[in-house]
């Protein structure tokens, strides 16, 4: 009953289109698992992108892509840049309690 978390993606700056598509696909698969017709309940789901700071008041190019379900982050993807300006995308999910509550 679990959802497979994609492997991390490493790409050059300017070549992240496939990674963004993978984020959308990952979030959609989770949404479909929780609500088989998520578009029937659009208010339950929201995709957000947060800009991250290395230090307080020092913004960076790093981002956190989050899938929010009923005000709870249930999946996230970090988008971080290396010192060579390559991009790493790392996928996470936190469905603990969500799927169990939907089944019960």
What is the pLDDT at residue 68? 95
State the CB neighbour count (10 A cutoff) for residue 93: 22
* pTM of the complete model: 0.86
Domain segments of the chain as ranges:
9-95
Segment holding 29, helix H or strand E: helix 17-34
pLDDT of 101 reads 62
The CB-side HSE value for 89 (13 A sphere, CA atoms) comes to 24
Residues 6+ apart with CB under 8 A from 77: 23, 26, 64, 65, 89, 90, 91, 92
Query: What pLDDT, on the 0 to 100 scale, is given for residue 53?
Result: 85
Of all helices (H) and strands (E), which one includes residue 64?
Answer: strand 58-69
**How would you write the pLDDT of the chain (104 residues) with one tens digit per residue?**
568 899 999 999 889 999 999 999 999 999 888 887 766 667 788 999 999 987 777 778 899 999 999 889 999 999 999 989 899 999 999 987 786 665 54
């Amino acid at each position: 009953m679990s959802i497979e978390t994609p492997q991390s993606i490493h790409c050059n700056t300017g070549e992240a289109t496939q990674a963004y598509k993978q984020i959308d696909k990952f979030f959609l698969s989770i949404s479909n698992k929780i609500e088989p017709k998520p578009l029937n309940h659009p208010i339950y789901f929201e995709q957000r992108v947060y800009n991250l700071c290395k230090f307080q008041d020092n913004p960076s190019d790093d981002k956190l892509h989050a899938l929010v379900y009923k005000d709870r982050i249930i999946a996230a993807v970090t988008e971080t840049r290396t010192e060579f300006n390559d991009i790493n995308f790392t996928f996470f999910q936190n469905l603990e309690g969500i799927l169990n509550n939907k089944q019960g």
